[in-house]
Structure 1
Amino acid sequence: MKRIAIAARVSTNRQEKEATIESQIAELEFWASENDCVIVERYIDDGWSGEILARPELDRLRDDASKGIWESVVFVDRDRLARKLSLQELVIDELVEKDVEIIFLNEPLADNPEGRIMQQIKGVFAEYERAKIAERMRRGKIHNANEGKLVTGTPPYGYKYFPKTKTTVAKYEIYQPEAEIVRMIFKWVAEEGYSMRQVVKELFKRKIPPAKRISKRWVKSSVERLLNRQDYIGTSYYNKTVSVVPKHPQNVGKYKKIKKSSRRMKPKEDWIAIPVPPIINKELFKQAHLKLQENKIYNRRNKKYDYLLSGKVFCTSGHKRVGDSVNGHYYYRCAERIYKFPLPHKCDAEGVNAQILDGMVWYKLLTLLSKPQVVRPQVERWKEKQSKVVSRSQEEIERLNLALDKLREEEERHVKVYGAGFVTFEKLQDDLQDLKAKKEAIESQIKETGEKAPDDEVNLDRFDDICTDIFYTLKYAHASEKQRYARNLLVSIYVGERRSALVNGHIPLVTQAQNIQDVLIGRHSRFAECRQKHAF
């Protein structure tokens, strides 16, 4: 019996709920039983867009292709592999080079050049049709919004959504139980001066739950969004934002189900106003926003201590420690109480005196980085690794050149489609312009990767002088400069039991743990005993 792997993908949660994954798997299993094949591995990507290749199960499939676990991989159709033709061809070529047979149930993979060209032409048309459908939907929504019709079915807190019928258009109607809470929140802020944190606390105290679609409990961010919604004064806006790839993605290195996971605000002239029933008057909305602005200014002016290690200190509970002051003294306290608020917190770790911890960590940085005998071995080790980094840069350039070749082939296919009379010259120009933009983006990446390739030629003749320069640069740095250096050099500082601190930085090194005696800097200050174990 032939050993095969099966692969399936759905791109949305709705598709998951509609059991399209199960239907794909059932179809693949039936085909395997009918063709005397045994399924030895399954690669199932639930809720992953076909516009990206960085999918966990597809990566696993590509890794396993060279291991000889299975002989063939079976998909229901090409779209389950990827949406874009260029991405499909990239993976297909990669698998074919590894002697893997690729089977699409709805359309077998052509085994001759003419057949491959015809399949690629069909792929171009399928991609074009999807783009046309998406554009029609976008224009339809814009048209409806310009006519004052609602185009989204998810209402803000305080409203209920009623879809269109044969005789009525879609609309929001005020849901009084929630609307009363909206009015109450705005009055707390505008008239009683509540901060958003106080609003959360009051809602929790009164056992007022948020809408189930928002979250299980009120949090500061949901209150902030509520206070900024202009729906409550009678105007809902459509076309305010556009989906974009995040510039500074969180959890770098992890898989992303959606490529464009961030939102960018559009110019205000692009917004489309849609009238909805108001819940509060404009004066109350304005007063609430003026109060929030006052709170921000007040908080900024009351910052009396610049925390050197802000964002780098962690508690043994896994949460960050944030700066906090008590009776004029400054501490790093576990932030679990903030994340859990208004629920009770579990971590009972005491605060760590910020001035003592900042001073000790900075002193250790100063002494370590100014010692040639400590830093030199790390630089030499760094030099040894540069050749590997250069090699990886070259591999990345080769991968980008391969993608560039694919785009050039796609250009040729578009020209052939035009030559066969299937599309107009205007359509050909549009397609070639899109491909040109993609090519320029890849060429820019190739140039950038080449420029970033590290240079391992480091002159160590003046190394002692450089360390001396580092010492004086750090010693006489201003507070803001110290913060910048600390952010760049330090990764994390874990404050554990018995006031011990484990400091991790960017330059690996092992030093002896140093015991530092208790220090008392004020009558009401807490003792801070710090045993530092460094991994710089």
Structure 2
Amino acid sequence: MENILPDTNHISNGDSAQPLQAALYARVSTERQEKEETIESQVAEVKQKIEADGNILPPKNLFVDDGWTGMMLARPALDAMRDAIKENQIQVVYVYDLGRLSRDFTNQLILLREFEIARIKFISLRDINPTTPAEEMMQKIMGIFHDYDRRNTAEKFRRGKLFKARSGILINGSALYGYNYIKKTETEPAHYEVNEEEARAVRLIWHWHAVEGVSMHSIIKKLYDLGIRPRKRKSPFWSRGPITRMLKCETYASGQVYYNKSEAVEAKKPLKNDKYKRVSKTSRRVRTKEDWIPFKVPIIIDDPSLYEKNKRILELNKKYARKNKKYNYLLSEIIWCGCGNRRAGDGCLKTGHFYYRCIERIHKFPRKDRRCYLKGANAVILDQMLWDELMQHLQSKDLIRKHAEAWLKNQAVTSVDTQHRTNLDAQIEKITEEEKRYSKAYGSGALEFEQYMELVKDAKKRKKGFQKEIEEQEALTSKESIDIGVDELCAETEKVLCTMNFSNKKQVIRDIIEKVIIKERRSVEVWCHISLPQLVTASTVNVGYEPIGRYRRFAQCR
């Protein structure tokens, strides 16, 4: 190929003796390439080319994306270089090859077109730098080869791994918790062996869950008390996710681990909506079981029936989970703890006890180094107590009559539907602009006279219709009277207040109450947008506690 392609790598500055402001872009897509320092070799070789061409490379114009896939157009360093081009800080761009710029042919064309519009020279050390239409066509063909090479390489890796797996060679490099991955040697292939320390934790978790019926919450506490930490040891305590996956994993009881169990796909609902992603396929999709390739590994759980018990318990937990049937917390999002943190709803569906607890207690469980030791408040009692006090004020006949009279008076003066009038005015303004465009088009000769008259006639007809609707609305407003009495309005208001559902109650709470604070000595402080004499003395109403369980306390009014 090198013998038949023209030598276009040397790009001179033309007639100008002034050196050009150059930019260097380099990229590698894997950690392995980073460790092998392939990006340093790219940068070094491109720098030599820039120096040979007599151009200048300022330090700020060195753009490097370490560990970013070439399939994604959104990359931090690439975006920074594109921004610098828009600000006219760059005159020529150097890359090692087109594949470093992008491994997707469509994205290559987008970037090259941007360079062309900005009049930026583009130089690739391993590709054609066109000066004629024929060479430009050859550059695009080379871009297609980069795209094909990416796809071909990925397919070779996939088929090679499948062949090894079907030949009985263990592919799974990351071992499950409870096992160690032993690399292959000259005498034996790669395999799993039991990690006795981790296997003990697996047996304990399965026994607690399937035999003793211990809850997930209690399992986390037991592991913390025993000093058993997760494998990566980033946190001193476990979370629910790894324990649930451990209980669902059949490998511990069956002695079989699978390769080709899932495939990488682009996430439909990504957990993080970050602007930059190192890889595009961030989610996994399970393949059909026929495609799974099994390998034999040592068994950790001797009783295989525990797997079915775990499976059945997890299904029941999912069926009766709190998210499917939970208590509706009336004060959620506006309730605070005296320590300054928010309080969140936390309770037990089985016992029917629900509380507002400080989030520090929830997030730091089961650690004992938290700052806040204020007790939880019974949500059922607090919600009902606050709502009753609020209704006692809102149902005041004097208050209802006062606001009813003010509302009726206001309606009599400003009963015009202002939103509808605004929409009508906007439509008339839009048609006026439309008429101006028709006149300009006729004046420039883009429209014949007959076409112009027909379009203008239709526009005027629509404009007249909107103006007539405004006149009718104004005439109706001037004669309109509110046919409802104060007593009737008061009665209807009381009826609505007494029949509100949970959503309506929550909306009323949001409109009136700024925040609720659970303070020391079991007192409640309520911040409102209106004066509530009954709630001003709420600080004197104590919310007491009576022990009913090992980790729960029941609140009652005194």
TM tier, shorter chain?
A: 0.5 to 0.7
- The verdict on how the C-alpha distance between 1:193 and 1:330 changes in structure 2, with shifts beyond 3 A counting, is closer
Structure 1, 5-14 or 351-360: larger mean CA deviation: 351-360
- The verdict on how the C-alpha distance between 1:158 and 1:308 changes in structure 2, with shifts beyond 3 A counting, is same
Please state if 1:44 is matched with 2:64: yes
Structure 2 counterparts to residues 272-283 of structure 1, below 5 A: 272-281=293-302, 282-283=304-305
- The verdict on how the C-alpha distance between 1:5 and 1:378 changes in structure 2, with shifts beyond 3 A counting, is farther
In the alignment, what sits opposite 1:7? Answer: 25
For residues 69-106 of structure 1, the C-alpha deviation after alignment (integer angstroms, 9 at most, x for no partner) is 22222222211111111111111101221122222233
In the alignment, what sits opposite 1:129? Answer: 149
Partner of 1:259: helix, strand, or coil? coil
Structure 1, 272-281 or 206-215: larger mean CA deviation: 206-215
Contact 1:10 1:45 (C-alpha < 8 Å) held by counterparts: yes
Please state if 1:355 is matched with 2:383: yes
Q: Structure 2: which amino acid aligns with 1:174? A: V
- The verdict on how the C-alpha distance between 1:321 and 1:112 changes in structure 2, with shifts beyond 3 A counting, is farther
In 1, distance between residues paired with 2:352 and 2:368? 26
Contact 2:98 2:146 (C-alpha < 8 Å) held by counterparts: no
In 2, distance between residues paired with 1:357 and 1:252? 41
Partner of 1:258: helix, strand, or coil? coil
Please state if 1:24 is matched with 2:42: yes
Contact 1:314 1:494 (C-alpha < 8 Å) held by counterparts: yes
In 1, distance between residues paired with 2:322 and 2:284? 27
Structure 2 counterparts to residues 458-473 of structure 1, below 5 A: none
In the alignment, what sits opposite 1:93? Answer: 113
Structure 1, 43-52 or 347-356: larger mean CA deviation: 347-356
List runs of 5+ in structure 1 lacking aligned partners: 388-456, 466-470, 503-511, 527-536
For residues 224-254 of structure 1, the C-alpha deviation after alignment (integer angstroms, 9 at most, x for no partner) is 2222222212111222222222222233253
Structure 1, 120-129 or 225-234: larger mean CA deviation: 120-129
In the alignment, what sits opposite 2:263? Answer: 242
Query: How many percent of aligned residue pairs carry the same amino acid?
Result: 35
Which of 180, 196, 212 is 1:160 aligned to?
180
Please state if 1:71 is matched with 2:91: yes
For residues 341-362 of structure 1, the C-alpha deviation after alignment (integer angstroms, 9 at most, x for no partner) is 33346463966867379969x9
Contact 1:158 1:175 (C-alpha < 8 Å) held by counterparts: yes
Partner of 1:355: helix, strand, or coil? helix
In the alignment, what sits opposite 1:444? Answer: none
For residues 50-77 of structure 1, the C-alpha deviation after alignment (integer angstroms, 9 at most, x for no partner) is 1111222222222221111222222222
- The verdict on how the C-alpha distance between 1:261 and 1:16 changes in structure 2, with shifts beyond 3 A counting, is same
Q: Structure 2: which amino acid aligns with 1:25? A: V
- The verdict on how the C-alpha distance between 1:19 and 1:355 changes in structure 2, with shifts beyond 3 A counting, is farther
Partner of 1:65: helix, strand, or coil? helix
Which of 300, 311, 316 is 1:289 aligned to?
311
- The verdict on how the C-alpha distance between 1:252 and 1:304 changes in structure 2, with shifts beyond 3 A counting, is closer
- The verdict on how the C-alpha distance between 1:277 and 1:474 changes in structure 2, with shifts beyond 3 A counting, is farther
Total equivalences in the alignment: 427
For residues 133-179 of structure 1, the C-alpha deviation after alignment (integer angstroms, 9 at most, x for no partner) is 32232223233333443211111111111233444332111122222
Partner of 1:54: helix, strand, or coil? coil
In 1, distance between residues paired with 2:516 and 2:420? 26
Contact 1:334 1:347 (C-alpha < 8 Å) held by counterparts: no
In the alignment, what sits opposite 1:81? Answer: 101
- The verdict on how the C-alpha distance between 1:312 and 1:121 changes in structure 2, with shifts beyond 3 A counting, is farther
Contact 1:329 1:525 (C-alpha < 8 Å) held by counterparts: no
In 2, distance between residues paired with 1:103 and 1:155? 45
In 1, distance between residues paired with 2:277 and 2:262? 20
TM-score (norm 1): 0.65
Q: Structure 1: which amino acid aligns with 2:26? A: A
- Alpha-carbon RMSD: 4.9
List runs of 5+ in structure 2 lacking aligned partners: 1-18, 395-402, 430-465, 477-481, 483-492, 545-558
- Per-residue deviation, 1:332: 4.1
In 2, distance between residues paired with 1:379 and 1:53? 46
TM-score (norm 2): 0.63
Contact 1:307 1:358 (C-alpha < 8 Å) held by counterparts: no
In the alignment, what sits opposite 1:445? Answer: none
- The verdict on how the C-alpha distance between 1:122 and 1:515 changes in structure 2, with shifts beyond 3 A counting, is farther
Partner of 2:61: helix, strand, or coil? strand
Structure 1, 328-337 or 137-146: larger mean CA deviation: 328-337
Partner of 2:345: helix, strand, or coil? strand
